[in-house]
Amino acid sequence: MRTTGPSPADSTVTLAMPLAGFLARRRVPLGFVFAVGVLYFSTPTWTSLGAGAIVGAIGELIRVWAAGHLEKSREVTSSGPYQFTRHPLYLGSSIMGLGVGIASESLIVSVLMIVYMGATIAAAIRTEEAFLRRQFGDAYDTYASSRAPLATRRFSIERAWRNKEYRSVAGFVAFVLLLVGRMWLANRGVI
């Protein structure tokens, strides 16, 4: 005889959603907290900084490409990088996090980045997919199962700007400059 009511798996998802929502909503302020730890534990060199900046820039380029196709909360976007991955913005952010880990030349920073990115991006994906399913229903499920027709929308820098991707670009540049400053101060024995 089958019983009705939520299964243990359902209750786990129900309990996990408030935490996921909290992490997803607070990922930017939490990022600033983690940035302080990253700066404190970093021991960058010109080589690590250059390599990390290149990797991070690749991640940022993916984010700009995605933001230039995204019509946030208006449609299920399937053009540009959305043809290849459901979450290109988060993919780009993860690559940027990898770049920070490389640039810092610190195992502690690498662990901090893995913890921060793993927790916040997983939470953001969970809450975003729940929103998209509520907002777009079958259209999102069709896209998520890779059955959606490919869209041919062209990249738009104006769309990337409207999606405020300039904030991510500015944050990335500022953080690289902070690492340069950290390295400069360390080389002079100030820190």
Domains of the chain: 13-187 (1.20.120)
**84: amino acid identity, one letter:** F
pTM more than 0.85: no
Confidence of residue 164 (pLDDT cuts 50, 70, 90): very high
DSSP string of 37-73, one letter each residue: HHHHH----HHHHHHHHHHHHHHHHHHHHHHTT--TT
- pLDDT tens digits along 12-45: 444 456 777 777 777 777 888 888 989 999 999 9
Structure confidence by residue, pLDDT tens digits, 115-131 = 889 989 988 898 899 99
Neighbours of 23 (CB within 10 A): 19
Cα separation, 89 vs 160, in Å, equals 11
Q: How far apart are CA 184 and CA 159, in angstroms?
A: 37
